[in-house]
Amino acid sequence: MAQRAAQTRRETLIAGMASFAAAAIAPSLALADAAAVEAEIKKLYGDRKAEAGRIKLDVPQIAENGLVVPINVEVESPMTAADHVKSVHVFADGNPLPGIVSYKFTPESGRAAASARMRLAQTQNIICIAEMADGKLFTAKSEVKVTIGGCGG
Amino acid sequence: MVSRREFIQAGLAGSALLAGSGLGSIGRLAAQQRLSEAELLRFEPLGNVTLIHVTDLHAQLVPVYFREPSINLGVGEAKGLVPHITGKDFLAHYNIPAGSPMAYALTSEDFAALARNYGRMGGFDRIARVIKGIRAERGDRCLLLDGGDTWTNSWTSLQTKAADVVEAMNLLKPDAMTGHWEFTLGAERVKEITDSLPFPFLAQNVRESEFEDRVFEPQKMFERGGVKVAVIGQAYPYTGIANPRWMFPKWTFSLKDDDVQKEVDAARAAGAQLVVLLSHNGFDIDRKMAGRVKGIDVILTAHTHDALPEAVQVGTTLLVATGSHGKFVSRLDLDVDRSGVKGFRYRLIPIFSDAITPDAEMAALVKKVRAPFEADLGRVLGKTDGLLYRRGNFQGSLDDVFTDAMLQVRDAEIALSPGVRWGGSLLPGQDITFEDVTNACALTYPNCYRTSMKGSQIKAILEDIGDNIFNPDPYAQGGGDMVRLGGLTFTVDPYQTSGRRISDLRLARNGQALDAGRDYTVAGWASINQATEGPPIWDVVGTYLQQKKVITPRPLDAVKVVGAG
């Protein structure tokens, strides 16, 4: 789950706001982008088209802590031998590496639901793609804001 | 349903007497004589349930001056809608005569002159009087609900860890509350207080971060006037971002429509005929939530300090906005039967402290809890020539005092002061006391740091905070107003996208452009980081005032706002 230990933008900014800040170090790692996520999906599914729907992607709109952002994914499905969710992949388009987590399901899973925590280096999109038993693909996307916080009230 | 016209007639009966009497030219005595308590409290009762709402009192036990914003921009779907209408536009929208008591209470128009006529607003003893009056009239139909931001941000509450306010609130006998700044007392103290309260602290959206166990009760069912009323608590969902999370490290806050919907459904399943969301989301979030969660009858809004003289309807949901600092108490009468809400009547009751008789019991309690601190509170630090205020999207004249103080006393090139929406106003010619200063800065993380930041970091911070205020999606807004700056001028386009709002950053002293690669000495306060070092901000401001003696506010031209959206 955890991405590489680069200093994130959030950390940089937090350091900046603080009284005891040492000189902040700019992120040195190149970050992924939307094209990198598309390339990953293409590696998995070629040019097959994914449609919207079925996936309930539950992530906060603003992360309370960019280092541990909760993610819950659930895909609507009867989970029978003929009609079930085979896999769910989660990507992020602004982390050093685009891959967040991949899940495999079988009809025995009962529900295609999973939870995890991810680290996000900056404000970015979380992209989810689900493959069904019949080969159909579904996708969902949600932006998570990573902010320095403070000053509220 | 009461019509808008009827409302205006009922709500402004007192002020109608004053229409046409000119902008604050009638004199204080005349104003007080015309502001009768009976008129202020007049209300034709309706139905079988009365909701009484107080919120964002910010521990202001005694009456204050509080100028409403002249700039309160709405973005995205909220653009041009209340509460993002100010000044003359606000008066026109609600058909409120200029110079009237409600014009003084609700806008910034001619504030200093009207404040001299109409006096301070709020005070727990006046609030107690109003609440007791409503209870005497409505008996078991009443539910008193506190929207939070109640326990903190005065000197006495800081010194007593909120014991003073908690004691005073308990005397008001609320039926439930929720919270936000309360959490800055630290998890342990919050639990200590909430465990001892004679009423529930409701927060469906606060959980232990590890296993997502609930920290507080999510909702409570009441029976009032024969009606089953469910009250669901919604704490400020971004407390863990806006305030120091290290003070409540094991608690996580959320903003999830689905979770609220589950609570509403559970309430209905348990037989609730009236579902109330006691919310600290902030008005724009609540308006959006009202359109997405089905089955909420009333949202009692808070956090953004908006005071609206009418309830706002979104579908079948009513939104009430009660303002802040004790300036108002909301009364919402509802006619509810088996099938739901049949009608309502609402009044935002202005608490004019000179017109409303203090409740003796509460007055005695307030006097008692303040007594040990009176000498400190009354200490005069300086005087102001002009009006000092904070509230508004951008720097107010009181913020200039804070940033100037940091630049001078901490010998910094640039100063940052948080855009909190609390802090009273001071009239021209008024002494500035220690209480006035601490009313604008008493919080549990007051250290005034001094550090070095690159120009690029400063720009990034401004952009980040700008997006917290002006993101077009209310669910992505972090609350508060724009950070206040000393030593820097800039241009902001609120309607731009993230990272593109702030431009033309210049040093105020010489007009030079901020250098992205250069290090600047920066002072600031209210850092959310643990172990922040530096003197408390009230000492910094106090030292400055004692040196300066008289404050003469200068034109507020450091921030240039452009863009039309």
At residue A83, the pLDDT reads: 97
Query: In Å, how far is B166's CA from the nearest CA of chain A?
Result: 20
For residue range B292-302, list pLDDT tens digits in order: 999 999 999 99
- Dihedral, B491, B493, B497, B501 alpha carbons, nearest 10: 10
Range B207-231 average pLDDT: 96
Range B318-342 average pLDDT: 97
Give, as one character, the DSSP assignment of residue B184.
Answer: G
* Cβ contact, residue pair A23, B476, below 8 Å: no
Which run of H or of E encompasses B10? Answer: helix B4-11
The three-class DSSP label of residue B119 is coil
At residue B485, the pLDDT reads: 96
* Cβ contact, residue pair B418, A17, below 8 Å: no
Query: Contact, A69 vs A119, CB < 8 A?
Result: yes
In chain B, where the domains are located = 46-63+119-368, 66-118, 378-561
Distance CA B422, CA B419 (A): 9
Please, which pLDDT band fits residue A20 given cuts at 50, 70 and 90? very low
* Cβ contact, residue pair B453, A21, below 8 Å: yes
As beta bridge partners, residue B333 has B50, B345
* Cβ contact, residue pair A150, B528, below 8 Å: yes
Please, which pLDDT band fits residue A22 given cuts at 50, 70 and 90? very low
Which run of H or of E encompasses B230? Answer: strand B227-234
Q: Is the pLDDT of residue A53 over 60?
A: yes
Here the ipTM equals 0.84
Nearest to A19 among B422, B465, B527 (CB): B527
Q: What is the residue-wise DSSP string for B248-282? A: STTEEE---HHHHHHHHHHHHHTT-SEEEEEE-S-
* Cβ contact, residue pair B453, A152, below 8 Å: no
Domain over B378-561 is classified CATH 3.90.780.10: yes
Please, which pLDDT band fits residue B480 given cuts at 50, 70 and 90? confident
Query: Contact, B182 vs B149, CB < 8 A?
Result: yes
B76 in contact with A, Cβ within 8 Å: no
B514 in contact with A, Cβ within 8 Å: no
The owner of tokens 């000393």 is B486
For residue range B66-122, list pLDDT tens digits in order: 999 999 999 999 999 999 999 999 999 999 999 999 999 999 999 999 999 999 999
Query: Contact, B235 vs B180, CB < 8 A?
Result: yes
B242 in contact with A, Cβ within 8 Å: yes
Nearest to A145 among B180, B476, B483 (CB): B476
* Cβ contact, residue pair A19, B451, below 8 Å: yes
Minimum Cα–Cα distance from B241: chain A residue: A149
Across all residues in chain A, what is the average pLDDT? Answer: 83
B534 in contact with A, Cβ within 8 Å: yes
Distance of CA B269 to the CA centre of its chain: 34
For residue range B351-408, list pLDDT tens digits in order: 999 999 999 999 999 999 999 999 999 999 999 999 999 999 999 999 999 999 999 9
For residue range B492-525, list pLDDT tens digits in order: 999 999 999 999 999 999 999 999 999 999 999 9
Distance CA B114, CA B18 (A): 12
* Cβ contact, residue pair B242, A149, below 8 Å: yes
Give, as one character, the DSSP assignment of residue B355.
Answer: T
Query: In Å, how far is B119's CA from the nearest CA of chain A?
Result: 26
What are the structural domains of chain A? 9-144 (2.60.40.2470)
Query: Between B1 and B487, whose confidence is greater?
Result: B487
Q: Is the pLDDT of residue A17 over 70?
A: no
Range B20-43 average pLDDT: 66
Please, which pLDDT band fits residue B5 given cuts at 50, 70 and 90? very low
Question: pTM for this one?
Answer: 0.91
Query: In Å, how far is A46's CA from the nearest CA of chain B?
Result: 33
At residue A29, the pLDDT reads: 62
Query: Contact, B169 vs B211, CB < 8 A?
Result: no
Q: Is the pLDDT of residue B31 over 70?
A: no
* Cβ contact, residue pair B478, A149, below 8 Å: yes
* Cβ contact, residue pair B245, A65, below 8 Å: yes
Range A111-125 average pLDDT: 95
Domain over B46-63+119-368 is classified CATH 3.40.190.10: no
At residue B427, the pLDDT reads: 98
Q: Do domains B46-63+119-368 and B378-561 have the same CATH topology?
A: no
Cα torsion angle, B165, B189, B239, B197, sign: negative
Across all residues in chain B, what is the average pLDDT? Answer: 94
For residue range B458-479, list pLDDT tens digits in order: 999 999 999 999 999 999 998 7
Please give the single-letter amino acid code of residue B557: D
